[in-house]
Amino acid sequence: MPRPSGVSLTVNVRVLLTALLITVPPILIDLTLVLDRSRGAFIEQSGDYLETLARNAASQTSRFVEENVADLRALAARNEILASVRAANRAHGSRIQLEAEDEYRKIDQQWQSKQAEPVVETIVGNPLAVSLRDYLALNADFTRIVVADRLGVTVAATHKPDLYYHGDQSWWITSYGGGHAGAANLTDAHWDPITRTDCLAMSVPIVDDRTKRVIGVVRGFMDVASLGTLVAQLEPGGRSKALIVKRDGRIVAARDAVPGMQGESDEMETVAAVLQERSSGHLAVSLRGGGEALLGYSDFGLAKVHPEIDWVALVVQDSGEAMAALRAVNLRALATSLLAILLVGTLAVYFSVHRPKELDPLEELQEDKASRSREEPS
């Protein structure tokens, strides 16, 4: 009886090694290119996301500032302010600004001395000042308010102002507008020693509802910490950060910022170079302290109307943190590919070593006799 045939797998080791040398390098090169392309695509998508966050931060912050300007305009239209400023203007009579400047500047020269205390008490203690403090209690975004008449003289204030006479200040000149062309004015964020906060000062004209002429100016100081809280809500998480920065790199607002110690942004130096071409975008930057980061940026656009508010919103994320998820996927794909190649090679070597042995004719004859004896009945 012929020996039953079976299926056997034999592999020539030399052929196997040659095949692996020919096929494995191209596979690894292709895998590397695929991973590199996926990294580039991931960076682009992450950059687009950060840019969107930066644009949202700029948009929401601009809207927030404009809403506060609108609130200040509504305050300037209140009856108690109109009545107080009209009374102050009547007290001036027909005096013009040039005639009054020397007198009021003399008061400013003594403003920090005891001689000015009676004037200060009148300014911060009159009924309008009390009403303004009540307004602050309901509007936490503002830290203090000053009301000035048609000559720039302080009528009322929630706190002792830094000056009594404002008629020669640029913000007052812009907002008063000669009595007929007043406009809102925003002064860049700065440290306010009176309230000891970082503030954005804004002023609006007081328009007489009868004559439609500008009769004075209201100036409010908005706490910049409100902006830091606003932009922090848009941070992606982890070690990322969102911040508002001036063109010169000084930080205006950020999460957990210490008043008066905002510092400078490492990233703004790189962003400033590309802002000339695009108002928003994203890029990878190298940090001064080492490492790389992805960031999205967006110009506020407020400088077109308020030249001093030349701000940029930045959303920054550490490159290692941004790429962590992709790196894990890439390593797993690479490890799986190498494992598959190793497994194929191992199996091939195994089958090449464990080849079935060929039986000689004598052994095959003995095996056939043994098989027949087992099949014959006893």
Q: Which residues contact 179 (CB under 8 A, 6 or more apart)?
A: 150, 213, 214, 215
More confident residue, 41 or 52: 52
Q: Give a yes or no: residue 357 inside a domain.
A: no
What residues have CB less than 8 Å from 342, skipping those under 6 apart?
A: none
Instruction: State whether 54 and 184 are in the same domain.
Output: no
Q: 324, 345, 372 — which closes off a domain?
A: 324
> What are the CA-CA distances from residue 164 to residues 117, 148, 241 (Å)?
12, 9, 41
Residues 193 and 285 placed together within one structural domain of the fold:
no
127 shares its domain with 49: no
Same domain, residue pair 305 and 282: yes
Long-range contacts of 278-285 (CB under 8 A, 24+ apart): 280/51, 280/54, 280/55, 280/58, 281/51, 282/47, 282/48, 282/50, 282/51, 282/54, 283/47, 284/43, 284/47, 284/319
Evaluate if residue 343 carries a pLDDT over 80: no
Residue 110 above 80 pLDDT? yes
- Whether 178 and 251 map to the same domain: the answer is no
How far is 18 from 348, CA to CA, in rounded Å?
12
Task: Give me the pLDDT at residue 1, please.
Answer: 45
Higher pLDDT, 187 or 359: 187
Residue 354: inside a domain: no
Output Rg (C-alpha) for the chain, integer angstroms.
39
Residue 142: its pLDDT value, please? 95
In tens, the pLDDT along 221-270 reads: 999 888 888 888 877 766 778 888 888 888 888 877 666 556 777 777 77
Residue 156 sits in which domain range? Answer: 77-223
For residues 311 and 184, state if they share a domain: no
Please state, for a pLDDT cut of 90, what percent of the chain lies above it. Answer: 32
pLDDT tens readout for residues 130-175: 999 999 999 989 999 999 999 999 999 999 999 999 999 999 999 9
If asked whether residues 84 and 208 sit together in one domain, one would say: yes
The total number of structural domains that make up the chain: 2
Give the confidence band of 28 by pLDDT, cuts at 50, 70, 90: low
> In whole numbers, what is the pLDDT of the chain averaged over residues?
80
Max alpha carbon distance in the chain (Å)? 145
